[in-house]
Structures are given as C-alpha cells and as structure tokens.
Chains A and B, each alone.
Chain A
C-alpha cells in the first residue's frame, strides 16, 4: 500500500487561479515528518516545506500555504494566484522517526503535474 497518496495526477489551471494539491499519508508512527518538493521542468528537486507531526498549525509562505490535518491524515498544498512559473511536478513525502526499519526513509507520493496556462 502506498504510504503517500497524491490522487491528482495532473492539474491544469489558468494563471491567477488558486489551486490545491492533495496529499494523504498513512503511518502508525506518532512522530513523523511531512514534506513537499517541487520539481520544475529542469528536473531538480526543490524543497518547499517540512512539517512535524506535532505541529498542526497551518503555514503560509507568500502565495503558498499548507493545511495539515492529522484527523484526516492529509497535508494539502495551496497555491494562491498561480503563475506560469508554478508549473512543475509537486511531490509530497513522509519520513517516519520511530520505526527502526524505516527510519530515515523518505516515502514519496507519485507526484502531481501542475500546469499553469497564461
């Protein structure tokens, strides 16, 4: 079973629209970390955010915001007023801390391809 599910394979929006990328995770650990990475067409992985399991506060960084809800095991990512430069593949990832056999591994979702049209 996938530990991280990104159900949206592709999303297309027009510039200035808001868009939310969904991420649902699965873990039995009480301590874990969630990440979002951006992969632009150039191919590198760009770190966006890290959130630990004890901090459910939503976070806003410019046009980016993240909504973490442990009750639904979700860590969704919203881009407000999208821009063409936001076009990329976005990955959600999970790292478990307590489990010895999986400690340190990053489990990635399959990614969401976001295309922002001008």
Chain B
C-alpha cells in the first residue's frame, strides 16, 4: 500500500545509546518531515527536507540528525539518547510545501531509560 512507513514501531534505549528511526514513502513526495509528540504539547517539528540532499531544522532539532540521500527515505538519527527524547515520533510527507495534505506514518514510540 502506498504511504509512509516508519520502523520500528516501538524502541527502548538506554541513555547515551544511538539509533536511527527509519521513514520511507513511495508516493514520490518531495517534502518530508519529522515530528515528535509529547503529552499536552501537540506535535512539534524536528527536521524537514524539501528534496533529496536538502534538509533544515525545525522547532526542536537539538539531539537529532537527518539526511536525505534519496527522495524515498528520510531517517532520523538520535546521536546520544536522553530521557528527554522519550516521545512518539511521526514522519510525514507531502507532494508540496504549504498547502498540500500531509501523509503521516504510524509513529514510533521511543522510551529512553
């Protein structure tokens, strides 16, 4: 099925560990982004990309890295996990910026202990 695929769905990390959250879409969307959802905070933008090779920071980028080597994939890397990064992470894509409808992945629930 066409859409946004996130892996893994659940992950527990120890403080200081690193990991990569995967995001792939098969809709040939240029625009991809990562959000984190925390209780009572809504969703906040971490990083986004307007096309392969182009990324930029969002509202809460600290502690995260991204790269966009292909149109399909937009992985999110946690360099040294901290308990403050315990959250639910959503990847989204759209065919354009601004007014397009965004397709969200099913989310990754990350716990850092």
Which of A's residues lie within 8 Å of B, judged by CB?
4, 9, 31, 33, 35, 37, 43-45, 47, 50, 52, 91, 93, 95-97, 103-106, 108-111
Instruction: Determine which residue in B44, B94, B98, B101 has the highest number of CB atoms from chain A within 10 A of its CB, and name it.
Output: B98
Query: Are B50 and A43 neighbours in the complex by a CB distance under 8 Å?
Result: no
- Number of chain B residues whose Cβ lies closer than 8 Å to a Cβ of chain A: 27
Contacts of A97 in B (CB 8 A): 97-99
Contacts of B92 in A (CB 8 A): 106
User: Is the C-beta of B88 less than 8 angstroms from some C-beta in chain A?
Assistant: yes
User: Is the C-beta of B31 less than 8 angstroms from some C-beta in chain A?
Assistant: yes
Query: Are A103 and B98 neighbours in the complex by a CB distance under 8 Å?
Result: yes
Which of B's residues lie within 8 Å of A, judged by CB?
31, 33, 35, 40-45, 48, 50, 58-59, 88, 90, 92, 94, 97-99, 101-104, 106-107, 109
Query: Are A105 and B48 neighbours in the complex by a CB distance under 8 Å?
Result: yes
Nearest neighbor of A29 in chain B, beta-carbon distance: B98
Nearest neighbor of B9 in chain A, beta-carbon distance: A43
CA gap between A109 and B37 in the complex, in Å = 11
Contacts of B33 in A (CB 8 A): 104-106
CA gap between A109 and B33 in the complex, in Å = 17
Contacts of A104 in B (CB 8 A): 31, 33, 48, 50, 94, 97-98
Q: Identify which of B40, B42, B97, B103 contacts A91 (C-beta below 8 A).
A: B42
Nearest neighbor of A47 in chain B, beta-carbon distance: B101
CA gap between A95 and B45 in the complex, in Å = 12
